[in-house]
């Protein structure tokens, strides 16, 4: 079976078209959005009492790097200017501030306390290519445990299995990105 990610929501497709996003950015957003959908679905199945805005997470994952249209050098090299410019760019194109914030916060999880939605966008952005980040996952585990009153070790066990399954498709996602980019 050939890997085929879900398409971006229509609103994000429109933004990418309006902003003339490069294909490399578009394909990255598609993949991170696809992972966010899988992550949200898995969390819903495993943690029935977990409260989070799934639509916001998926929107954030699908638009988190949109600031790179203003900083195309950050598509292939380091840089954080896209995080600073992303929210204003999204708001200029009609995105409400609570959704535009993800373009700033997806890289800030080590610098500030963030709500679960922001952590899940950051996690989606890390794990799409199979990368596991213990410190980020620990923050997600702590947040889920506090919110659901499930012991941290139980949250870890459930989340680890879900993340391992998602991460295991990292090579397929990278191959899809290469073949479409």
* Domain assignment present for 17: yes
Q: How would residue 33 be classed by pLDDT, with cut points 50, 70 and 90?
A: very high
For residue 22, the tally of other CB atoms under 10 A from its CB is 15
* Domain assignment present for 67: yes
Say which CATH number the domain at 47 has. 1.10.3210
pLDDT in tens, 47-56: 999 999 999 9
**pTM beyond cutoff 0.75:** yes
Structural domain boundaries, residue 59? 10-180
* Domain assignment present for 3: no
Tell me the C-alpha distance between 27 and 7, whole Å.
10
* Domain assignment present for 2: no
Phi, psi of 178 (to 5 degrees): -60, -40
CB 86, CB 108: distance < 8 Å: no
* Sequence-separated (6 or more) residues with CB below 8 Å from residue 16: 8, 25, 26, 29, 66
Annotate 100-166 with three-state secondary structure. HCHHHHCCCCCCCCCCHHHHHHHHHHHHCCCCCCHHHHHHHHHHHHHHHCCCHHHHHHHHHHHHHHH
pLDDT at residue number 58: 98
* Domain assignment present for 5: no
* Domain assignment present for 19: yes
pLDDT in tens, 99-113: 999 999 998 999 989
How many domains does one find in the chain? 1
């Amino acid at each position: 079976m050939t890997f085929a990610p879900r398409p971006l929501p229509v609103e994000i497709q429109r933004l990418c078209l309006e902003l003339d996003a490069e294909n490399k950015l578009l394909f990255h957003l598609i993949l991170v959005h696809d992972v966010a959908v899988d992550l949200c679905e898995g969390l819903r199945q495993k943690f029935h009492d977990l409260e989070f805005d799934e639509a916001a997470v998926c929107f954030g994952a699908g638009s988190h790097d949109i600031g790179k249209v203003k900083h195309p050098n950050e598509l292939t090299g380091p840089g954080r200017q896209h995080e600073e410019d992303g929210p204003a760019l999204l708001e200029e194109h009609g995105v409400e501030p609570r959704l535009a914030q993800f373009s700033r916060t997806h890289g800030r999880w080590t610098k500030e306390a963030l709500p679960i939605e922001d952590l899940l966008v950051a996690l989606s952005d890390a794990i799409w290519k199979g990368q596991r980040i213990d410190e980020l996952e620990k923050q997600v585990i702590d947040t889920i445990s506090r919110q659901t009153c499930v012991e941290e070790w139980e949250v870890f066990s459930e989340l680890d299995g879900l993340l391992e399954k998602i991460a295991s498709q990292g090579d397929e996602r990278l191959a899809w990105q290469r073949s479409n980019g």
